[in-house]
Structure 1
Amino acid sequence: MARTLVVKATAGSDSPERCAQAFTVAATAVASGVDVSLWLTGESSWFALPGRAEEFELPHSAPLAELLHVILSSGRVTVCTQCAARREIGEADVLSGVRIAGAAVFVEEAMADGAQALVY
């Protein structure tokens, strides 16, 4: 049975190390062949918009835009419905390949057989 890694990023530029860690772990897992689902919640929701990941900087960390590209290439990226609504982010606003979904979908993914969930 293939394992799935579900990563929830709860921080953005407000906590750059925690944010970068979530993206780094998710991208590393994708590069290793793991099925990955990255959830963007709270301030990390902004990175679903074009150009936002390119604005993020953290010394000695891989560029967030590159990590996001790796994740989108073979994994799934989801923005929390409520987090998107609070920021007035709609389906037409997000990068290609990013979806908006709610807590029921997160719970379904996190509770699936063989799933491991991490929250940053």
Structure 2
Amino acid sequence: MADKLVVKVTAGVEAPERSNQAFTVAAAAVAAGVEVAVWLTGEAAWFAVPGRAAELSLEYATPLPELLEVILDGGTVTVCTQCAARRNLTADGLLAGVTIGGAAGFVEAVMQDGTQALVY
């Protein structure tokens, strides 16, 4: 079993099942004691803005704000540098604990021994 899990979320509210599944898997991994890093790219970058995660609604799914809280309590959330810039997002406008990072940081995270990476 991998010691670390990196989940890259590429979809936003336009693909609620895919988005919610990514966060559900990440939160479940945190609950299981796995070291988790979530990377938000594309439209998923908006989920790092306060109040925006609540815009994703999916029947029978745990609300995204609750999943994000679990992930931030036990893991990390990073927004893609270019994705943030394209949306005029800055670190000051993101949820507490969310950082902005580039491709080199993502590659470093996924290339560590004992790491499993998933892309949604």
Task: Please indicate, yes or no, whether the TM-score normalized by the shorter chain is above 0.5.
Answer: yes
- 1:38-77 to structure 2, matched below 5 A, reads 38-77=38-77
CA distance in 1: counterparts of 2:118 and 2:55, whole angstroms: 25
Amino acid corresponding to residue 4 of structure 2 in structure 1 = T
* Worse-superposed segment, 66-75 or 55-64: 55-64
CA distance in 2: counterparts of 1:2 and 1:22, whole angstroms: 17
C-alpha deviation, 1:51, in angstroms:
0.5
CA distance in 1: counterparts of 2:43 and 2:83, whole angstroms: 8
Scaled by the length of structure 2, what TM-score is found?
A: 0.97
Q: In 1, are the aligned partners of 2:13 and 2:55 still within 8 Å (CA)? A: no
Scaled by the length of structure 1, what TM-score is found?
A: 0.97
CA distance in 1: counterparts of 2:68 and 2:41, whole angstroms: 15
| Change over 3 Å in CA distance of 1:2–1:117 after alignment to 2 | closer
Q: In the alignment, which residue of structure 2 is the partner of 1:106?
A: 106
Classify the secondary structure of the residue corresponding to 1:13: coil
How many residues matched?
120
C-alpha deviation, 1:37, in angstroms:
0.1
Q: Which runs of 5 or more structure 2 residues have no equivalent in the other structure?
A: none
CA distance in 2: counterparts of 1:46 and 1:119, whole angstroms: 17
- Which whole-Å deviations, capped at 9, do the CAs of 1:53-78 have from their partners, x for residues lacking one? 12210111110000000000010000
For the pair 1:116 / 2:116, whether they are aligned, the reply is: yes
Moved runs in structure 1, 4+ residues, more than 4 A? Answer: none
